A and B are shown apart, each in its own frame.
Chain A
Amino acid sequence: MQWNDEAIVLGVRRHGETSVIAEVMTRSHGRHLGVVRSGRSRAMQPVLQPGNSVDVTWRARLDEHLGEFRIEPLQLRAGRLMEAAIAVYGVQAMAALLRFLPERDPHPHLFEMLAVVLEHLHEPADAGELVVRFELAVLEDLGYGLDLARCAATGDTVDLVFVSPKSGRAVSRSAGMPWADRMLALPGFLGEATGAAADAQALAEGFRLSAYFLNRHVCEPRGLQLSTAREGFVQATLKALAARSAEFAS
């Protein structure tokens, strides 16, 4: 068995004294693990950092074997990612999220999204918005997608400002107002104001929205919690936006 694919490194785990088990997100073969011989060598360690794009060849005698990876670097982003808290937290948070997906299950659009988000992790507003969208896309691929296009009660497609915590569907202002204290806020960048830059409040609402459904559908049934890195990413993003706002104000 052998295949070749483009991949993004999600993490590595020691395997013996010189090798590692690498976890990568591939374009066509989903999240995949494999042994990298001499993965702890000086040449391979910089390549096997989370966030790097690599060309990977997987080889095994049988399909169900763990198999071995031969890895060539394509784009080494890790050095740049390490410079900012928001970027290192972001890459770890997305890797943790992808671990909820079953292994070897292809999700090509998540691979594409991951590559895009990694390129924008230094820009707080863009990174925050993209990560929220990424989290919602992971939810959708796990079978818990939100319907944010029309109101669950009236069918309206305008003035959608709430999301029902029960159904995960958008609710318009007029229909949701009586239960506003129980509703989740739908940030503008996920609804009608697509294209507009998200502010700190909208991002906080977006993070709260995705966290609520990730916890409810994915984490709680498995007895898990959202990663520490996600909390770090949220705090770093909101802090960076607040600092920027203060800078503009002065």
Chain B
Amino acid sequence: MAKRVTGPEIEKLIQLLAKVPGLGPRSARRAALHLVKKKDQLLGPLADAMGEAHRKVRICSCCGNVDTVDPCTVCTDERRDRSVIIVVEDVSDLWALERAGAMNAAYHVLGGTLSPLDGVGPDDLNIRGLINRVSEGGVRELIIAVNATVEGQTTAHYITDQLQGLDVKITRLAHGVPVGGELDYLDEGTLTAALRARTTI
């Protein structure tokens, strides 16, 4: 049996860090050692920041975003065009779209996609909240920005079906050649979609 080289507190820290995406047991050990070495400059402030985040973080009751205030910062931003809602699968997609800065719209986070293999059905997603938001009125366009996967598009069509009869324009993201993409390496489906959605130069 291997001898223990650290106390249970540091072992627990390593075990928890190893559960963070991108970190395995070895890199968690390195990160833990780094934190322990920089106890005052890093470990203390990090622990405080995590504690504070843990106390304050909540899901936005309006859009499903993660923030420390409810409604979230995005929902309370007066400068946003609230007549346009971008529907995304996950908070990470919301952050990605905000990084792009292409739209100044409101968001709605579904919390996943319909996935029979993972047992995710309509009731497990934040679809009811979306329908309520649109039903309340004032929404001109709904942009369904889900992943270009069969599960993502099934979810998009399901949402479209559920919103039938409501006076809202429903659009989705275009599918096509990514920036820096080489045609030779693209799959036939993407190429077909790109050709169909071609634009005049």
Contacts and interface: CB of A to CB of B under 8 A. Distances in A.
Contacts of B187: 46-47, 73, 76, 79
Contacts of B117: 10-13, 23, 95, 99
A11 B35 CA distance: 41
B111 interface: no
B189 A77 contact: yes
A165 to B, nearest CB: 27
Contact of A81 (B22, B150, B185): B150
A91 B150 contact: yes
Contacts of A51: 150
Interface residues of A, number: 36
A236 B188 CA distance: 25
Given A51-B150, A235-B161, A228 B189 contact: no
A85 interface: yes
Given A11-B116, A88-B150, A79 B193 contact: yes
Interface in A53-91: 73, 76-83, 85, 88-89, 91
B190 to A, nearest CB: 6
Given A11-B117, A228-B121, A76 B189 contact: yes
Nearest to A50: B150
Interface residues of B, number: 28
Contacts, number: 85
Given A13-B118, A73-B187, A76-B189, A89 B175 contact: no
Contacts of B157: 85, 88-89, 232, 236
A171 interface: no
Q: Which of A43, A78, A80 has the most chain B CB within a 10 Å cutoff? A: A78
A17 interface: yes
Interface in B179-201: 185, 187-193
B170 to A, nearest CB: 12
A85 B158 CA distance: 8
B41 interface: no
B32 to A, nearest CB: 19
A13 B163 CA distance: 29
Interface of A: 10-13, 17, 23, 43, 45-47, 49-51, 73, 76-83, 85, 88-89, 91-92, 95-96, 99, 227-229, 232, 235-236
Interface of B: 21-22, 114-118, 121-122, 148-151, 153-154, 157-158, 160-161, 175, 185, 187-193
Given A92-B150, A96-B116, A227-B116, 18 more contacts: A46-B189, A49-B149, A49-B150, A50-B151, A79-B187, A79-B190, A79-B192, A80-B189, A85-B161, A88-B153, A88-B154, A88-B157, A92-B114, A95-B117, A99-B117, A228-B121, A228-B122, A232-B154
29 contacts: A11-B116, A12-B117, A17-B22, A43-B185, A45-B149, A47-B187, A49-B150, A76-B188, A77-B189, A78-B149, A78-B189, A79-B192, A81-B150, A82-B148, A82-B175, A83-B193, A85-B157, A88-B153, A88-B157, A89-B157, A91-B150, A92-B116, A96-B116, A227-B116, A228-B114, A229-B116, A229-B154, A236-B157, A236-B161
